[in-house]
Chain A
Amino acid sequence: MADFALTIFTSKGTLQQIENASQAVNKGETALGIKTKSCVVLAVEKKISSVLVDESSFHKVQAISSNSGAVYSGLGPDFRVLMQQARKHAQTYALSYREPILISNLVRETAQIVQEYTQSGGVRPFGISTLIAGFDDDGPHLYQIDPSGAYYEWKATAIGKNMKNAKIFLEKRYKHDLELEDAIHTALLTLKENFEGQMSSKNIELGIIDKSRVFRLLTPSEINDYLTGLES
């Protein structure tokens, strides 16, 4: 086990490991998020390698606490590790205050963990960018955390393979006062822009949170309904 930092500065002032991690993210499947006045929607491609895989057995969109959830682009296992730490932090807070954690607080602490992995002995940076959606007393929130540990709050954004095109599409289509239905519709259209093959409830995932402050995944049948709506 190495005691020394594996991520060190080059003479140009860059951290190659973080840049490499960002490369891993940019190879990952596209994920996007849209935050409106009343809700946040997360969506992601979920290409299964074989028809034999049970796609219902794992989820790329996951809840962190009752009032927050996340999705990623990049290395799935790294996402699982980060999720576990984020969930623990949210619960520790709830244990002391008996109140749900503010999303800004949750993101700041999770980003802190990501940063620590760029400046600690024997570890490599996380190979994911993650989009965190939540709803707290300050309203709806959408945040992005990068492998460097930097975090940003967005109205709408995309990460992964098709982030450039997806963001251009979102810039045109985004409206602050979209209702939940329209936000879901826009998310699906954005995913569809660069989707190889036919979109179905088996190869995409959607997570939503609105004024109810409960984060949930859309069921396959709900996704199918929205997809049918897309055709018309």
Chain B
Amino acid sequence: MSIFDYNGGGIVAMKGKNCIAIGADRRLGQQMKTVSTNFKKIFRMQDNILLGLGGLATDIETFSAEMEYKLNLYNLRENRKLKPTAFVSLVSSTLYEHRWGPYFVSPIVVGLQDGTPVISTYDSIGCTTDTENFAVAGTAGELLYGLCETYYREDIPAEELVEIIGQILLAGCDRDALAGWGGVVYLLTTDNLHIRELKTKQT
């Protein structure tokens, strides 16, 4: 059993027209046992930057805290907000700092840089992929890919994007025993952040 499969999870992010959405399930398990049904996997780093994490739950919590720590120090030192592209690089270099004792996480960074959507995904040691359309992570990742390919098109309007991500998340996680038990979708537009909780059969 891989250490990435111990706690379980499914995260999906997708670009839209001047907006971006990221959704995650809410399950926290210990292999087959479900321990919590409202475990947080998406973190608001800044008004225009979200960080979603799949993988080992303890590392999800610690890594998101370390990124928040670095972001806060940046704000104090630089007296300005982080640009999404800078945050993308910061995640990568932080992961590589732990090259020989890595965080077992699969991060997805999602942001709006001057209104333009940004999505990046990484392996556990910082190899960055700036994707053009969507990204997935977690034990349900591969299952989510198929649905993303089917439903993605360019310039999806915001209201539709929330719906699409919600449906993809639910259908994908339904097929994965280790992911599901509720879902949450974050929609980021230039004006605001809209959070929607998904009702599943067992929420």
Residues of chain A touching chain B, judged by Cβ–Cβ distance below 8 Å, are 95-99, 102, 104-105, 137
Contacts and interface: CB of A to CB of B under 8 A. Distances in A.
Contact of A98 (B77, B80, B85): B85
- Majority secondary structure of chain B interface residues (helix, strand, loop or mixed): helix
B83 interface: yes
Contacts of A98: 85-86, 89
A97 B84 CA distance: 10
Contacts of B79: 104
A97 B80 CA distance: 14
A97 B89 contact: yes
Contact of A105 (B77, B83, B85): B77
B2 to A, nearest CB: 29
Interface string B137-148: 000000000000
Contacts, number: 21
Chain A to chain B: the 8 pairs with minimum beta-carbon distance, closest first: A98-B89, A96-B93, A97-B86, A99-B86, A97-B89, A102-B78, A96-B90, A97-B90
Q: Which of A97, A98, A99 has the most CB of B within 10 A?
A: A97
- Majority secondary structure of chain A interface residues (helix, strand, loop or mixed): helix
Given A97-B86, A98-B85, 11 more contacts: A95-B93, A96-B89, A97-B89, A97-B90, A97-B93, A98-B89, A99-B83, A99-B85, A99-B86, A102-B78, A104-B79
Nearest to A97: B86
A162 to B, nearest CB: 35
A213 to B, nearest CB: 16
Interface string B75-119: 001111001011001100100000000000000000000000000
B197 to A, nearest CB: 34
Nearest to B74: A97
Nearest to B87: A97
6 contacts: A95-B93, A96-B93, A97-B89, A97-B90, A99-B89, A137-B80
